[in-house]
């Protein structure tokens, strides 16, 4: 960790509890700041309150009083709190600097930083990169952190010059960066998402592309080359462009040709050797391979990782096989694009469990995928009726309603046959019924385990 004096004696307000907020507060205190932590929800955890008190961190919860801004020099904001929040908007009016926790982590880390963003595939790509960089590594270690669920501020205090921080960065987090400069930035893709937070797709894209705002000529931008829009976005960086493509040959980066993955003309491995299913995971692999090759990793080590990596929890995660049915958990599919990619990864008939938060979309674009891959559906949540309409347009005769994603498991099993895939891929956010997509996926897995125990 760098020995910096920037925060000594400064009054810093951390807005939002949670892993990142707590890590940021502890780090700032270590750096000599006067820290206040604030959350709208009342904190009643006595152990956590005692931990704050022991570190002389002031804790104000239950509301966002504007007087907290009176002596504040800097705000570290939880990424999920919108800028329209009363406290945050007041801080903007007063020209108080507002950053997010990855920015703070970047300012103190001694290690190289690799940043990964995109609508879909961020976590899988981040994980693949770290595994590849750690395969037979002789010095240092690659750490995953950021939006993947591990505080970047905590990791930044532990890493050294020979380590690498492979950091998943959401659009929310990137809104709050100033100096953060990834040596390698990765854009997996950009689709329609989070317009309720950003206000428009244009604003969402601008937030994503902040990942390259500080890059220089000796940095790298690894970018999906399968869309004209994404190719054009590469013009926004000064870094060296390293494209990857599943659809076309791109000699400057990673690509697929005749079922074989190449990087700049070098054969890496056959596509069908990748253990995790789906064309989207081929794209994730291409992005990760590009980073690993930039970092000097061997083809053999890269291929070994992809032959053995079985996926990230909640992302087309294989759960179990029972009575000839394979169960998969893709709870991270919080938009239609992710569900389309998940469905495209299976050749056997799918019983699809889907539904969740209504963000004002209809689901007609799913119809071709439903028609091609899905034999039956179980729908739930606020969008259940809309998804049923899409299923009927696709000609699916078996569509059942369930209370939620866990209650859908038994119904899906009853509708399935030997050889079928039972897939939770909601195409919607979880917040109508579950606090997180992880909670939704965990409940699904628990119900699958319960079903298989009862049937034995």
pLDDT tens-digit series, residues 104-130: 999 999 999 999 999 989 999 999 999
Per-residue pLDDT at 455? 65
Per-residue pLDDT at 195? 79
Average pLDDT, the chain: 95
Domain boundaries, the chain: 11-99, 102-308, 317-455
Band the pLDDT of 456: cuts 50, 70, 90.
low
Please tell me the CATH superfamily of domain 317-455, with its number.
Mur ligase, C-terminal domain (3.90.190.20)
Q: Is 124 annotated as a binding residue?
A: yes
Per-residue pLDDT at 315? 83
CA 84 to chain centre: 23
Token duo for residue 450: 């319960």
Band the pLDDT of 102: cuts 50, 70, 90.
very high
Per-residue pLDDT at 313? 80
Average pLDDT over every residue of 408-436: 95
Count Cα atoms within 13 angstroms, Cβ side, for 380: 25
Per-residue pLDDT at 280? 86
Token duo for residue 383: 């969008």
CA-to-CA distance for 320 and 327, rounded, in angstroms?
Answer: 5
Q: Which of these CATH numbers, 1.10.10.10, 1.10.357.10, 3.40.1190.10, 3.20.20.60, describes 102-308?
A: 3.40.1190.10
Band the pLDDT of 405: cuts 50, 70, 90.
confident
Q: Is 311 annotated as a binding residue?
A: no
Average pLDDT over every residue of 195-213: 93
Count of C-beta atoms within a 10 Å radius of residue 195: 15
- Which region among 222-231, 255-264, 274-283, 350-359 has the lowest average model confidence (pLDDT)? 274-283
Q: Is 317-455 the same fold as 102-308?
A: no
Average pLDDT over every residue of 18-30: 94
Q: Is 16 annotated as a binding residue?
A: no
Q: Is 36 annotated as a binding residue?
A: no
Q: Could you tell me which CATH number the domain at 11-99 has?
A: 3.40.50.720
Pair 359, 329: CB distance under 8 Å: no
Average pLDDT over every residue of 432-450: 94
Residues in contact with 313: Cβ distance below 8 Å, sequence separation at least 6, in sequence order: 329, 438, 441
Q: What is the pTM of this model?
A: 0.81
Q: Is 118 annotated as a binding residue?
A: yes
**Residue % of the chain over a pLDDT of 90:** 88
Band the pLDDT of 196: cuts 50, 70, 90.
confident
Q: Is 122 annotated as a binding residue?
A: yes
pLDDT tens-digit series, residues 39-62: 999 998 899 999 999 999 999 999
Q: Is the pLDDT of residue 428 over 60?
A: yes
Q: Cite the beta strand spans of 248-349 per DSSP E.
A: 254-257, 260-263, 266-270, 317-322, 325-329
CA-to-CA distance for 263 and 429, rounded, in angstroms?
Answer: 35
Average pLDDT over every residue of 255-259: 96
Average pLDDT over every residue of 363-391: 97
């Amino acid at each position: 960790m760098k020995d910096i004096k920037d925060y000594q004696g400064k009054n810093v307000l951390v807005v939002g509890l949670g892993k990142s907020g707590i890590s940021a507060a502890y780090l700032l205190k270590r750096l000599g700041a006067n820290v206040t932590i604030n959350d709208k929800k009342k904190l009643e955890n006595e152990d956590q309150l005692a931990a704050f008190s022991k570190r002389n961190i002031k804790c104000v919860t239950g509301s966002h009083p504007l007087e907290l801004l009176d002596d504040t020099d800097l705000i570290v904001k939880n990424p999920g709190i919108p800028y329209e929040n009363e406290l945050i908007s007041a801080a903007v009016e007063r020209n108080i600097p507002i950053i997010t926790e990855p920015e703070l982590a970047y300012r103190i880390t001694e290690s190289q930083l690799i940043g990964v963003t995109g609508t879909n595939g961020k976590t899988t790509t981040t994980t693949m990169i770290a595994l590849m960089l750690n395969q037979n590594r002789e010095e240092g270690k690659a750490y995953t952190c950021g939006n993947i669920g591990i505080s970047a501020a905590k990791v930044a205090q532990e890493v050294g010059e020979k380590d690498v921080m492979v950091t998943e960065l959401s659009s929310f987090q990137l809104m709050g960066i100033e100096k953060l400069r990834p040596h390698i930035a990765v854009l997996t893709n950009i689709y329609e998402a989070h317009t309720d937070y950003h206000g428009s797709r244009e604003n969402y894209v601008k937030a994503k592309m902040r990942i390259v705002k500080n890059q220089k000529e000796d940095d790298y931008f690894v970018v999906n080359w399968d869309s004209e829009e994404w190719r054009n976005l590469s013009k926004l960086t000064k870094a060296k462009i390293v494209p990857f493509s599943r659809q076309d040959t791109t000699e400057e980066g990673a690509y697929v040709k005749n079922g074989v993955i190449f990087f700049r003309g070098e054969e890496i491995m056959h596509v069908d050797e990748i253990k995790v299913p789906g064309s989207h995971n081929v794209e994730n692999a291409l992005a990760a391979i590009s980073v690993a090759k930039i970092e000097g990793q061997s083809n053999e080590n890269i291929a070994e990782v992809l032959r053995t990596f079985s996926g990230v929890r909640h992302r087309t995660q294989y759960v179990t096989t029972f009575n000839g049915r394979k169960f998969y958990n893709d709870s991270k599919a919080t938009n239609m694009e992710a569900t389309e990619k998940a469905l495209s990864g299976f050749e056997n008939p799918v019983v699809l469990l889907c539904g969740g938060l209504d963000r004002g979309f209809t689901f007609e674009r799913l119809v071709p995928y439903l028609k091609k891959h899905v034999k039956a559906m179980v729908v739930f949540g606020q969008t259940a009726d809309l998804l049923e309409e899409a299923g009927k347009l696709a000609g699916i005769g078996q569509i059942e309603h369930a209370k939620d994603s866990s209650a859908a498991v038994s119904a899906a099993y009853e509708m399935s046959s030997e050889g079928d895939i039972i897939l939770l891929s909601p195409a919607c956010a979880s917040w109508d019924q579950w606090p997180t997509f992880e909670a939704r996926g965990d409940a699904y897995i628990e119900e699958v385990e319960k079903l298989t125990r009862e049937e034995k």
